[in-house]
Structure 1
Amino acid sequence: MTGTSLRLVAHGHTAALRRARFGGADDGLDEGGLRAALAQAQAGADRRGPLGVNATCLSSPAVAARQTAAAFGLLPTIETALADCDYGDWSGRSLEEIAESQPQALHDWLSAPESAPHGGESVTAVRDRVGNWLDEQQEAGGRVIAVTHPLVIRVAVVHALGLPLATYQQVDVEPLAVVRLTSRGARWQLRLGAPRAG
Protein backbone atom coordinates (compact mmCIF):
# COMPACT_ATOMS: atom_id res chain seq x y z
CA MET A 1 0.00 0.00 0.00
CA THR A 2 1.19 3.49 -0.85
CA GLY A 3 1.98 5.68 2.13
CA THR A 4 -0.02 8.81 2.83
CA SER A 5 1.34 12.15 3.95
CA LEU A 6 -1.38 14.61 4.91
CA ARG A 7 -0.86 18.16 6.07
CA LEU A 8 -3.92 19.83 7.55
CA VAL A 9 -3.57 23.61 7.49
CA ALA A 10 -5.89 25.88 9.49
CA HIS A 11 -6.97 28.97 7.62
CA GLY A 12 -5.81 32.36 8.85
CA HIS A 13 -7.70 34.81 11.04
CA THR A 14 -11.05 36.19 9.97
CA ALA A 15 -13.16 38.81 11.72
CA ALA A 16 -15.59 36.09 12.86
CA LEU A 17 -12.77 33.95 14.27
CA ARG A 18 -11.31 36.89 16.21
CA ARG A 19 -14.76 37.66 17.66
CA ALA A 20 -15.47 33.99 18.54
CA ARG A 21 -18.49 33.85 16.22
CA PHE A 22 -19.99 30.59 14.98
CA GLY A 23 -19.47 30.13 11.27
CA GLY A 24 -20.97 33.21 9.74
CA ALA A 25 -21.22 34.70 6.33
CA ASP A 26 -18.04 33.07 5.05
CA ASP A 27 -15.71 36.01 5.65
CA GLY A 28 -12.40 36.17 3.93
CA LEU A 29 -9.16 36.61 5.83
CA ASP A 30 -8.93 39.88 7.71
CA GLU A 31 -5.92 42.14 7.14
CA GLY A 32 -3.90 40.57 9.95
CA GLY A 33 -4.82 37.06 8.83
CA LEU A 34 -3.66 37.72 5.27
CA ARG A 35 -0.41 39.33 6.47
CA ALA A 36 0.32 36.37 8.75
CA ALA A 37 -0.40 33.84 5.99
CA LEU A 38 1.89 35.65 3.55
CA ALA A 39 4.63 35.92 6.19
CA GLN A 40 4.37 32.21 7.03
CA ALA A 41 4.48 31.36 3.33
CA GLN A 42 7.61 33.48 2.87
CA ALA A 43 9.28 31.88 5.91
CA GLY A 44 8.42 28.48 4.45
CA ALA A 45 9.85 29.43 1.06
CA ASP A 46 13.10 30.39 2.80
CA ARG A 47 13.18 26.85 4.26
CA ARG A 48 12.27 25.31 0.88
CA GLY A 49 8.62 24.72 1.63
CA PRO A 50 7.18 23.51 4.93
CA LEU A 51 4.09 22.21 3.15
CA GLY A 52 6.03 20.03 0.78
CA VAL A 53 6.21 19.83 -2.98
CA ASN A 54 4.43 17.58 -5.44
CA ALA A 55 1.36 17.44 -3.23
CA THR A 56 -2.29 17.64 -4.14
CA CYS A 57 -3.89 20.69 -2.54
CA LEU A 58 -7.49 20.56 -1.34
CA SER A 59 -9.49 23.26 0.39
CA SER A 60 -12.70 23.82 2.23
CA PRO A 61 -15.16 25.79 0.07
CA ALA A 62 -14.82 28.73 2.50
CA VAL A 63 -13.28 31.96 1.23
CA ALA A 64 -10.81 32.09 4.14
CA ALA A 65 -9.49 28.62 3.34
CA ARG A 66 -9.10 29.39 -0.36
CA GLN A 67 -7.36 32.70 0.42
CA THR A 68 -4.99 30.94 2.83
CA ALA A 69 -4.10 28.39 0.14
CA ALA A 70 -3.51 31.22 -2.35
CA ALA A 71 -1.25 33.04 0.13
CA PHE A 72 0.86 29.88 0.27
CA GLY A 73 1.04 29.85 -3.52
CA LEU A 74 -1.25 26.82 -3.79
CA LEU A 75 -4.09 26.27 -6.23
CA PRO A 76 -6.57 24.06 -4.38
CA THR A 77 -9.38 21.84 -5.52
CA ILE A 78 -12.51 22.42 -3.44
CA GLU A 79 -13.39 19.49 -1.17
CA THR A 80 -16.80 19.76 0.51
CA ALA A 81 -15.84 17.20 3.17
CA LEU A 82 -13.46 19.85 4.53
CA ALA A 83 -16.24 22.44 5.06
CA ASP A 84 -16.74 23.93 8.49
CA CYS A 85 -19.53 22.75 10.75
CA ASP A 86 -22.99 23.97 9.74
CA TYR A 87 -23.95 25.97 12.83
CA GLY A 88 -27.55 26.44 11.72
CA ASP A 89 -29.34 29.21 13.65
CA TRP A 90 -26.14 30.10 15.49
CA SER A 91 -24.26 31.09 12.33
CA GLY A 92 -22.77 34.55 12.68
CA ARG A 93 -23.61 34.79 16.39
CA SER A 94 -21.00 35.00 19.13
CA LEU A 95 -20.39 32.45 21.84
CA GLU A 96 -21.34 35.14 24.40
CA GLU A 97 -24.67 35.80 22.65
CA ILE A 98 -25.56 32.11 22.66
CA ALA A 99 -24.44 31.71 26.28
CA GLU A 100 -26.77 34.55 27.27
CA SER A 101 -29.79 33.67 25.15
CA GLN A 102 -29.60 29.85 25.05
CA PRO A 103 -27.44 28.68 27.97
CA GLN A 104 -28.94 25.19 28.14
CA ALA A 105 -28.61 24.66 24.38
CA LEU A 106 -24.96 25.76 24.52
CA HIS A 107 -24.33 23.44 27.47
CA ASP A 108 -25.94 20.56 25.57
CA TRP A 109 -23.82 21.25 22.48
CA LEU A 110 -20.58 21.48 24.47
CA SER A 111 -21.25 18.40 26.58
CA ALA A 112 -22.83 16.06 24.01
CA PRO A 113 -21.09 15.82 20.60
CA GLU A 114 -24.20 14.25 19.07
CA SER A 115 -26.28 17.32 19.99
CA ALA A 116 -27.20 19.97 17.40
CA PRO A 117 -29.50 22.42 19.19
CA HIS A 118 -28.80 25.07 16.55
CA GLY A 119 -30.44 22.99 13.81
CA GLY A 120 -27.21 22.46 11.90
CA GLU A 121 -24.59 19.72 12.17
CA SER A 122 -23.58 18.02 15.38
CA VAL A 123 -19.88 17.54 16.11
CA THR A 124 -20.54 13.81 15.64
CA ALA A 125 -21.80 14.50 12.11
CA VAL A 126 -18.71 16.60 11.35
CA ARG A 127 -16.46 13.81 12.68
CA ASP A 128 -18.28 11.24 10.55
CA ARG A 129 -17.92 13.39 7.42
CA VAL A 130 -14.26 14.21 8.05
CA GLY A 131 -13.47 10.69 9.25
CA ASN A 132 -14.84 9.16 6.04
CA TRP A 133 -12.70 11.59 4.04
CA LEU A 134 -9.61 10.71 6.11
CA ASP A 135 -10.21 7.01 5.56
CA GLU A 136 -10.40 7.63 1.80
CA GLN A 137 -7.10 9.54 1.90
CA GLN A 138 -5.48 6.68 3.78
CA GLU A 139 -6.61 4.19 1.12
CA ALA A 140 -5.61 6.42 -1.79
CA GLY A 141 -2.11 7.25 -0.55
CA GLY A 142 0.00 10.13 -1.79
CA ARG A 143 0.81 13.61 -0.53
CA VAL A 144 -2.04 15.96 0.30
CA ILE A 145 -2.26 19.46 1.72
CA ALA A 146 -5.74 20.29 3.01
CA VAL A 147 -6.62 23.85 4.03
CA THR A 148 -9.60 23.86 6.34
CA HIS A 149 -11.09 25.02 9.66
CA PRO A 150 -9.87 24.55 13.23
CA LEU A 151 -12.87 22.38 14.22
CA VAL A 152 -12.36 20.14 11.19
CA ILE A 153 -8.71 19.64 12.13
CA ARG A 154 -9.62 18.95 15.76
CA VAL A 155 -12.05 16.16 14.85
CA ALA A 156 -9.65 14.84 12.20
CA VAL A 157 -6.92 14.39 14.81
CA VAL A 158 -9.33 12.67 17.19
CA HIS A 159 -10.53 10.32 14.44
CA ALA A 160 -7.03 9.59 13.17
CA LEU A 161 -5.78 8.67 16.64
CA GLY A 162 -8.90 6.68 17.55
CA LEU A 163 -9.67 8.88 20.56
CA PRO A 164 -13.12 9.38 22.12
CA LEU A 165 -14.86 12.20 20.27
CA ALA A 166 -15.30 14.28 23.43
CA THR A 167 -11.51 14.80 23.49
CA TYR A 168 -11.81 17.15 20.49
CA GLN A 169 -12.39 19.88 23.09
CA GLN A 170 -8.86 19.30 24.40
CA VAL A 171 -7.26 19.88 20.99
CA ASP A 172 -6.50 23.53 20.25
CA VAL A 173 -5.77 24.52 16.67
CA GLU A 174 -4.49 28.03 16.08
CA PRO A 175 -4.95 29.91 12.81
CA LEU A 176 -2.30 28.81 10.26
CA ALA A 177 -1.36 25.76 12.33
CA VAL A 178 -0.05 22.84 10.28
CA VAL A 179 -0.84 19.34 11.54
CA ARG A 180 0.90 16.42 9.85
CA LEU A 181 -0.58 12.94 9.69
CA THR A 182 1.15 10.03 7.99
CA SER A 183 0.07 6.49 7.33
CA ARG A 184 1.38 3.31 5.77
CA GLY A 185 -2.08 1.76 5.77
CA ALA A 186 -2.49 0.30 9.25
CA ARG A 187 -3.09 3.49 11.22
CA TRP A 188 -2.42 7.21 11.22
CA GLN A 189 0.50 8.74 13.04
CA LEU A 190 0.63 12.33 14.26
CA ARG A 191 4.00 13.81 13.37
CA LEU A 192 5.29 16.88 15.17
CA GLY A 193 8.43 18.76 14.35
CA ALA A 194 10.01 21.55 12.40
CA PRO A 195 9.77 21.48 8.60
CA ARG A 196 12.84 19.96 6.96
CA ALA A 197 14.71 21.77 4.26
CA GLY A 198 15.01 20.03 0.91
Structure 2
Amino acid sequence: MTATSLRLVAHAHTTALRQARFGGPDDGLDEGGRRAALALAQDRPDRRGHLGVDRACLSSPAAAATQTADALGLLPTIEAALADCDYGDWTGRSIEEIAVEQPQALHEWMSEPESAPHGGQSVAALRDRVGRWLDRQRGAHQRITAVAHPLVIRVAVVHALDLPLATYRQVDVEPLAIVRLTGRGSRWHLRLGPPRVA
Protein backbone atom coordinates (compact mmCIF):
# COMPACT_ATOMS: atom_id res chain seq x y z
CA MET A 1 0.00 0.00 0.00
CA THR A 2 1.47 3.34 -1.02
CA ALA A 3 -0.91 5.64 0.84
CA THR A 4 -2.33 6.06 4.32
CA SER A 5 -6.10 5.86 4.51
CA LEU A 6 -7.47 7.66 7.56
CA ARG A 7 -11.10 7.68 8.62
CA LEU A 8 -11.90 10.25 11.30
CA VAL A 9 -15.18 9.36 13.00
CA ALA A 10 -16.92 11.99 15.12
CA HIS A 11 -18.27 10.56 18.34
CA ALA A 12 -22.03 10.36 18.75
CA HIS A 13 -24.18 12.89 20.60
CA THR A 14 -23.62 13.76 24.24
CA THR A 15 -25.79 15.93 26.45
CA ALA A 16 -23.09 18.62 26.28
CA LEU A 17 -23.21 18.66 22.46
CA ARG A 18 -27.00 18.87 22.40
CA GLN A 19 -27.04 21.68 24.96
CA ALA A 20 -24.12 23.63 23.42
CA ARG A 21 -21.98 23.13 26.51
CA PHE A 22 -18.20 23.00 26.74
CA GLY A 23 -17.75 19.31 27.37
CA GLY A 24 -15.24 17.42 29.42
CA PRO A 25 -13.46 14.07 29.09
CA ASP A 26 -15.97 12.28 31.35
CA ASP A 27 -19.03 13.20 29.26
CA GLY A 28 -20.49 9.99 27.92
CA LEU A 29 -22.99 9.43 25.13
CA ASP A 30 -26.58 10.31 25.81
CA GLU A 31 -29.24 7.72 25.03
CA GLY A 32 -29.91 9.13 21.57
CA GLY A 33 -26.21 9.12 20.76
CA ARG A 34 -25.82 5.53 21.90
CA ARG A 35 -28.82 4.42 19.81
CA ALA A 36 -27.50 6.29 16.73
CA ALA A 37 -24.07 4.66 17.05
CA LEU A 38 -25.64 1.21 17.42
CA ALA A 39 -27.86 1.88 14.40
CA LEU A 40 -24.81 2.86 12.35
CA ALA A 41 -23.17 -0.41 13.36
CA GLN A 42 -26.28 -2.33 12.24
CA ASP A 43 -26.06 -0.65 8.82
CA ARG A 44 -22.71 -2.35 8.28
CA PRO A 45 -23.58 -5.40 6.16
CA ASP A 46 -20.66 -7.57 7.23
CA ARG A 47 -20.35 -6.05 10.74
CA ARG A 48 -17.39 -4.11 9.35
CA GLY A 49 -19.04 -2.39 6.40
CA HIS A 50 -18.09 1.13 5.48
CA LEU A 51 -15.65 1.49 8.38
CA GLY A 52 -13.66 -1.34 6.88
CA VAL A 53 -11.10 -3.64 8.43
CA ASP A 54 -8.23 -1.49 9.61
CA ARG A 55 -4.76 -2.27 10.83
CA ALA A 56 -5.11 0.48 13.42
CA CYS A 57 -8.08 1.79 15.34
CA LEU A 58 -7.56 4.73 17.67
CA SER A 59 -9.75 6.76 19.99
CA SER A 60 -9.64 9.94 21.96
CA PRO A 61 -9.47 9.19 25.69
CA ALA A 62 -12.88 10.87 26.12
CA ALA A 63 -15.70 8.64 27.33
CA ALA A 64 -17.92 9.64 24.38
CA ALA A 65 -15.26 8.54 21.88
CA THR A 66 -14.54 5.19 23.52
CA GLN A 67 -18.28 4.51 23.92
CA THR A 68 -18.86 5.34 20.25
CA ALA A 69 -16.04 2.99 19.22
CA ASP A 70 -17.52 0.26 21.40
CA ALA A 71 -21.01 0.75 19.93
CA LEU A 72 -19.51 0.48 16.44
CA GLY A 73 -17.79 -2.78 17.35
CA LEU A 74 -14.30 -1.29 17.18
CA LEU A 75 -11.45 -2.07 19.56
CA PRO A 76 -9.40 1.12 19.68
CA THR A 77 -6.13 2.03 21.30
CA ILE A 78 -6.36 5.29 23.26
CA GLU A 79 -4.48 8.16 21.60
CA ALA A 80 -3.95 11.18 23.87
CA ALA A 81 -3.23 13.45 20.88
CA LEU A 82 -6.88 13.05 19.84
CA ALA A 83 -8.26 14.44 23.11
CA ASP A 84 -10.76 17.28 22.84
CA CYS A 85 -9.81 20.86 23.59
CA ASP A 86 -9.29 21.63 27.29
CA TYR A 87 -11.93 24.27 28.05
CA GLY A 88 -10.51 25.11 31.46
CA ASP A 89 -12.95 27.08 33.65
CA TRP A 90 -15.68 26.80 31.01
CA THR A 91 -15.90 23.00 31.14
CA GLY A 92 -19.49 21.94 31.73
CA ARG A 93 -20.89 25.42 31.16
CA SER A 94 -23.10 26.48 28.27
CA ILE A 95 -22.10 28.95 25.60
CA GLU A 96 -25.21 30.93 26.59
CA GLU A 97 -24.01 31.23 30.21
CA ILE A 98 -20.56 32.37 29.14
CA ALA A 99 -22.08 34.86 26.70
CA VAL A 100 -23.96 36.50 29.58
CA GLU A 101 -21.19 36.36 32.19
CA GLN A 102 -18.06 36.81 30.05
CA PRO A 103 -19.14 38.22 26.68
CA GLN A 104 -15.77 39.76 25.85
CA ALA A 105 -13.88 36.58 26.74
CA LEU A 106 -16.24 34.48 24.61
CA HIS A 107 -15.90 36.89 21.69
CA GLU A 108 -12.12 36.74 22.03
CA TRP A 109 -12.11 32.94 22.08
CA MET A 110 -14.46 32.67 19.09
CA SER A 111 -12.65 35.25 16.97
CA GLU A 112 -9.00 34.64 17.89
CA PRO A 113 -7.84 31.00 17.60
CA GLU A 114 -4.73 31.77 19.67
CA SER A 115 -6.83 32.92 22.64
CA ALA A 116 -7.66 30.80 25.71
CA PRO A 117 -9.46 33.11 28.14
CA HIS A 118 -10.92 30.11 29.97
CA GLY A 119 -7.47 29.08 31.22
CA GLY A 120 -7.47 25.93 29.13
CA GLN A 121 -6.24 25.31 25.61
CA SER A 122 -6.57 27.57 22.58
CA VAL A 123 -7.85 26.26 19.27
CA ALA A 124 -4.39 27.03 17.85
CA ALA A 125 -2.78 24.79 20.48
CA LEU A 126 -5.34 22.07 19.73
CA ARG A 127 -4.56 22.32 16.00
CA ASP A 128 -0.83 22.09 16.71
CA ARG A 129 -1.29 18.93 18.79
CA VAL A 130 -3.65 17.26 16.34
CA GLY A 131 -1.54 18.44 13.39
CA ARG A 132 1.62 16.84 14.76
CA TRP A 133 -0.26 13.58 15.21
CA LEU A 134 -1.74 13.82 11.71
CA ASP A 135 1.66 14.47 10.15
CA ARG A 136 3.02 11.31 11.79
CA GLN A 137 0.17 9.22 10.38
CA ARG A 138 0.76 10.31 6.79
CA GLY A 139 3.76 8.01 6.43
CA ALA A 140 2.15 5.05 8.21
CA HIS A 141 1.02 3.41 4.93
CA GLN A 142 -1.91 1.69 6.56
CA ARG A 143 -5.65 2.02 7.09
CA ILE A 144 -6.54 3.82 10.29
CA THR A 145 -9.87 4.64 11.92
CA ALA A 146 -9.82 7.26 14.67
CA VAL A 147 -12.79 8.31 16.83
CA ALA A 148 -12.66 11.84 18.22
CA HIS A 149 -14.65 14.96 19.09
CA PRO A 150 -16.08 16.97 16.17
CA LEU A 151 -13.81 19.97 16.97
CA VAL A 152 -10.73 17.74 16.79
CA ILE A 153 -11.82 16.57 13.35
CA ARG A 154 -12.51 20.14 12.22
CA VAL A 155 -8.98 21.28 13.08
CA ALA A 156 -7.57 18.07 11.57
CA VAL A 157 -9.24 18.89 8.23
CA VAL A 158 -7.94 22.46 8.34
CA HIS A 159 -4.41 21.21 9.05
CA ALA A 160 -4.56 18.44 6.44
CA LEU A 161 -5.63 20.85 3.70
CA ASP A 162 -3.20 23.54 4.87
CA LEU A 163 -5.99 26.09 5.32
CA PRO A 164 -5.86 29.19 7.51
CA LEU A 165 -6.78 28.16 11.04
CA ALA A 166 -9.73 30.58 11.22
CA THR A 167 -11.50 28.48 8.57
CA TYR A 168 -12.15 25.77 11.17
CA ARG A 169 -15.32 27.76 11.97
CA GLN A 170 -16.58 27.01 8.45
CA VAL A 171 -16.08 23.25 8.76
CA ASP A 172 -19.14 21.55 10.22
CA VAL A 173 -18.71 18.01 11.53
CA GLU A 174 -21.86 16.33 12.78
CA PRO A 175 -21.84 13.56 15.38
CA LEU A 176 -21.03 10.20 13.71
CA ALA A 177 -19.75 11.94 10.57
CA ILE A 178 -16.92 10.12 8.83
CA VAL A 179 -14.19 12.24 7.25
CA ARG A 180 -11.82 10.41 4.93
CA LEU A 181 -8.27 11.57 4.32
CA THR A 182 -5.67 9.89 2.14
CA GLY A 183 -2.00 10.62 2.78
CA ARG A 184 0.26 10.53 -0.25
CA GLY A 185 3.80 11.85 -0.15
CA SER A 186 3.84 15.13 1.76
CA ARG A 187 0.12 15.89 1.36
CA TRP A 188 -3.25 14.80 2.63
CA HIS A 189 -6.22 14.56 0.27
CA LEU A 190 -9.85 14.87 1.38
CA ARG A 191 -11.93 12.02 -0.03
CA LEU A 192 -15.65 12.52 -0.52
CA GLY A 193 -17.84 9.71 -1.65
CA PRO A 194 -20.27 7.00 -0.63
CA PRO A 195 -19.41 4.51 2.10
CA ARG A 196 -17.26 1.63 0.89
CA VAL A 197 -17.44 -1.94 2.04
CA ALA A 198 -13.91 -3.30 2.52
Q: TM-score, normalised by structure 1?
A: 0.96
User: Given that residues 51 and 197 in structure 2 are in contact (C-alpha distance below 8 angstroms), is that contact kept between their aligned partners in structure 1?
Assistant: no
What is the alpha-carbon distance in structure 1 between the residues aligned to residue 162 and residue 175 of structure 2? 24
1:102-132 deviations in whole A, cap 9, x for unaligned? 0000000011000000000000000000000
SS at match of 2:57: strand
Task: Show the counterpart of 1:154.
Answer: 154
1:116-171 deviations in whole A, cap 9, x for unaligned? 00000000000000000000000222111000001000000000000000000000
- In the alignment, structure 1 residue 163 sits paired with structure 2 residue 154: no
User: Given that residues 22 and 92 in structure 1 are in contact (C-alpha distance below 8 angstroms), is that contact kept between their aligned partners in structure 2?
Assistant: yes
1:15-63 deviations in whole A, cap 9, x for unaligned? 1111110023622111100000000111123685111113310000011
SS at match of 2:8: strand
Task: Show the counterpart of 1:77.
Answer: 77
Task: Show the counterpart of 1:98.
Answer: 98
Alpha-carbon RMSD across the aligned residues, in angstroms, is 1.4
Task: Show the counterpart of 1:117.
Answer: 117
Task: Show the counterpart of 2:175.
Answer: 175
User: Given that residues 56 and 144 in structure 1 are in contact (C-alpha distance below 8 angstroms), is that contact kept between their aligned partners in structure 2?
Assistant: yes
Task: Give 1:171's aligned amino acid.
Answer: V
What is the alpha-carbon distance in structure 1 between the residues aligned to residue 29 and residue 165 of structure 2? 29
Q: CA 1:66–1:179 in structure 2 vs 1: closer, same or farther (change >3 Å)?
A: same
Aligned sequence identity (%): 76
Where do 4+ consecutive residues of structure 1 move more than 4 Å? none
SS at match of 1:44: coil
SS at match of 2:163: coil
How many residues were matched structurally? 198
What is the alpha-carbon distance in structure 2 between the residues aligned to residue 47 and residue 130 of structure 1? 29
Q: CA 1:25–1:77 in structure 2 vs 1: closer, same or farther (change >3 Å)?
A: closer
Task: Show the counterpart of 1:130.
Answer: 130
Q: CA 1:197–1:129 in structure 2 vs 1: closer, same or farther (change >3 Å)?
A: same
Task: Show the counterpart of 2:61.
Answer: 61
What is the alpha-carbon distance in structure 2 between the residues aligned to residue 105 and residue 25 of structure 1? 23
1:45-56 correspondence to structure 2 within 5 Å: 45=45, 49-56=49-56
Task: Show the counterpart of 2:193.
Answer: 193
What is the alpha-carbon distance in structure 1 between the residues aligned to residue 47 and residue 29 of structure 2? 24
